Amino acid sequence: MKITEALMAEHLVFHNLFDYVEKTAPGLKSVSEIRSLASLLEFMLAAHSKTEDDLFIGPLDPAFEQLGQRETFHHEHELIDHTLALAKRAARADKARAHLLSAITLCRSHFDKEERIVFPMAERLLKSKTLQELGKTWLEQRERVIK
């Protein structure tokens, strides 16, 4: 499997999670329930973003540089993490909910950019063999998480 296909499959799972959070967060009354959703999202995103940072940034570095997007890609991961941390730290439910929903908005925009620009760019610029090898590394990393 190519790394782009693997990451795209992960994105599909995240889209379901984003839908769920947007649907349920407005009805949650307690701050601890909202914090739990933020923690779940943070935990799941950490592995995904780390894969992108570790396996993607390096091989695509020259292309990102050309687009002036080299820092943006990494910065957006940090911004999402920071917003989720605010949701987890918030003392009141309304504040926690606002940060959580704002993190979802950031995620949607970031994921959309990856799907429209970054993944197609990787498919264009990297050799099929490289995409397959990176996909293999992705699988090995995921299997290590499971064991």
Q: Give contact residues for Fe ion (rule: CB under 5 A).
A: 52, 114
Q: Please state the closest distance from residue 77 (CB atom) to Fe ion, in A.
A: 6
Of 50 and 89, the one with the shorter C-beta distance to Fe ion is 50
Nearest to 96 by CA among 15, 42, 19: 42
Of 100 and 114, the one with the shorter C-beta distance to Fe ion is 114
Q: Give the CA distances from residue 63 to residues 19, 84, 134, in Å, rounded to whole numbers and listed in that order.
A: 32, 29, 17
Which amino acid type is present at position 86? Answer: L
Q: Please state the closest distance from residue 110 (CB atom) to Fe ion, in A.
A: 6
Distance, CA of 6 to CA of 92 (rounded, Å): 38
The Cβ of residue 24 has, within 10 Å, a number of other Cβ atoms equal to 12
Q: Please state the closest distance from residue 31 (CB atom) to Fe ion, in A.
A: 28
